[in-house]
Amino acid sequence: MNDTAISEDRRAQVRAIVADVLEADPDALTDESSFADDFDADSLLIIEIYSRFERDLGIRIPKEDLVELDELPSAYRLVAKHSTPEALGV
């Protein structure tokens, strides 16, 4: 599933969560920005982003998918993948 599978509203939610955790201006986050390289995100911040996605968006993400999370497109794909009815158990 690609990152276009989620709505603009959901993208805005993902961007807001990432910006909040990274303490960054949402406008500073681009599709090319690396959370680690551009915002000094360490593994603890990545886990916090993951936890916020689960809590705020009501999805479950397997821990093995954490390695995918380093920029907005990967965050969009991750949220889209785990927001499907099958992933939600619906």
pLDDT at 66: 78
CATH number at residue 38: 1.10.1200.10
Spell out the per-residue pLDDT of the chain, length 90, in tens.
444 578 999 999 999 999 999 999 999 999 999 999 999 999 999 999 999 999 999 999 988 887 888 999 999 999 999 987 654 554
User: Which burial class, exposed, middle or buried, applies to 10 when counting CB atoms under 10 A from its CB (0-12, 13-18, 19+)?
Assistant: middle
Question: Encoding tokens for residue 45?
Answer: 């911040």
pLDDT at 45: 95
| Positive or negative torsion for Cα 57, 90, 47, 27 | negative
Question: Encoding tokens for residue 89?
Answer: 């158990």
pLDDT at 89: 52
Count: domains in the chain: 1
Domain that holds residue 17: 3-88
DSSP H helices, the chain, are: 8-22, 35-39, 43-57, 72-82, 85-88
The C-alpha atoms of residue 70 and residue 78 are separated, in whole angstroms, by 11
pTM of the model: 0.87
